């Protein structure tokens, strides 16, 4: 009876460690919600979030925003702005947007990136 209990304990420990190993490092990190920032908040701390997925809240200004540099990736990059600050987003708009629409508040998930020229942008899927 004692031998059976020891064998079962060893098998259970092996099974648990095998399950833990299949998750791999960072699995629990990926399941966490992204950090939520405003446009000014991200731009003030962008280096801290470089390469990370974040959620940025701001106003979708389409191509009529206040960003002064050239689009970082393509002509389709659009402006997310708030508090007098502007951030380019490379990726689709959260919702279809008609030309002439007023900027509307949106939340966008994406990876924080920077161009060689130092222009910060959000790479949204």
Average pLDDT over residues 57-68: 90
User: Do 96 and 113 reside in the same domain of the chain?
Assistant: yes
User: Do 15 and 53 reside in the same domain of the chain?
Assistant: no
* 112 exposure class (CB count in 10 Å sphere: 0-12, 13-18, 19+): buried
User: Do 41 and 90 reside in the same domain of the chain?
Assistant: yes
User: Do 20 and 49 reside in the same domain of the chain?
Assistant: no
- The span from the CA of 68 to the CA of 12, in Å, is 61
The neighbouring-strand residues paired with 65 are: none
- The span from the CA of 109 to the CA of 115, in Å, is 19
Domain, as residue range, for 78:
33-123
- The span from the CA of 118 to the CA of 125, in Å, is 21
- The span from the CA of 75 to the CA of 72, in Å, is 8
Write down the mean pLDDT value for the chain.
80
Q: What is the pLDDT of residues 82-105, one digit of tens each?
A: 999 999 999 998 776 665 667 789
pLDDT of residue 35: 94
When mean pLDDT is compared across 1-10, 16-25, 104-113, the lowest value belongs to: 16-25
Q: What's the domain count of the chain?
A: 2
């Amino acid at each position: 009876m004692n031998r059976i209990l020891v064998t079962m304990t060893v098998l259970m420990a092996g099974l648990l460690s095998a399950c833990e190993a299949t998750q791999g490092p960072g699995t629990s990190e990926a399941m966490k919600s992204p950090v939520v920032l405003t446009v000014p908040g991200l731009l003030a701390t962008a280096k801290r979030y470089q390469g990370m997925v974040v959620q940025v809240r701001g106003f979708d200004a389409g191509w009529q925003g206040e960003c002064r540099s050239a689009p970082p990736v393509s002509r389709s990059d659009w402006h997310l702005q708030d508090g007098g600050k502007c951030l380019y987003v490379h990726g689709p708009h959260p919702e279809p947007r008609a030309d002439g629409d007023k900027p509307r508040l949106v939340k966008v998930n994406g990876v924080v990136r920077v161009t060689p020229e130092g222009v910060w942008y959000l790479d949204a899927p």
